[in-house]
Structure formats: structure tokens, C-alpha cells
């Protein structure tokens, strides 16, 4: 495990570092966020695969590279279906 020390750079670098640390913690704790807008994505009673590229329903309609399967899973998770 790599321990990241707080950078001694500019305020912008420190902010980016803290965002990176928070992303790493969320990943370890299983918190899922939209890759585009960073909103929290929840699935009531279902599990989301660890490496799934998640998109918020509002973002998936504007994502030209999203496959039909990704779109379907996004709306199922949003609706609470498995």
C-alpha cells in the first residue's frame, strides 16, 4: 500500500491531491460515483461491480461512447431494480 504524503506545492496542487486521496478512499470503501459529474450512484439492494464504469442517468444520455448495456444498467440501478 502506498502512503501519499501531503504535497508541499501550491494550493491547487494540494486541492488536487486531497481530491485524489478522497477518490482512493471512496474506491476502497465501495462508494460509487459518476465518472462524468462525480454524483453519488447508489443501487438499492443490488451490488455494482467494482470495475463498472458508472454514469449518472442525466450523464449517460449525453455520453456517445456508452454502450446499450451501460445505459440499461444505469437506469436499472437508478430505478432500484437488479
Q: How many domains are there within the chain?
A: 1
Residue 3 in any domain: the answer is no
pLDDT tens for each residue of 23-74: 888 777 767 777 778 787 766 556 677 677 778 888 888 888 888 988 888 8
Residue 4 in any domain: the answer is no
| pLDDT on residue 6 | 56
Is there a contact between 54 and 37 (Cβ–Cβ < 8 Å)? no
Residue 54 in any domain: the answer is yes
Residue 35 in any domain: the answer is yes
For residue 58, the enclosing domain spans 11-79
**79 CB neighbour count, 10 Å cutoff:** 10
- Give the C-alpha separation, 9 to 77, whole Å: 40
Grid cell 488536487 is found at 16
| pLDDT on residue 1 | 53
Residue 37 in any domain: the answer is yes
How far from chain centre, in Å, is Cα 18? Answer: 16
Residue 5 in any domain: the answer is no
Could you tell me the sign of the dihedral formed by the alpha carbons of 72, 75, 79, 82, in that order? positive
Amino acid at each position: 500500500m502506498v502512503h501519499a504524503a501531503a504535497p508541499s506545492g501550491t494550493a491547487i496542487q494540494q486541492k488536487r491531491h486531497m481530491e485524489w486521496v478522497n477518490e482512493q478512499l471512496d474506491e476502497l470503501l465501495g462508494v460509487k460515483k459518476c465518472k462524468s459529474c462525480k454524483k453519488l450512484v447508489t443501487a438499492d439492494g443490488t451490488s455494482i461491480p467494482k470495475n463498472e464504469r458508472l454514469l449518472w442517468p442525466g450523464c449517460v444520455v449525453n455520453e456517445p461512447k456508452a454502450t446499450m448495456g451501460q445505459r440499461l444498467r444505469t437506469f436499472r440501478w437508478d430505478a432500484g431494480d437488479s
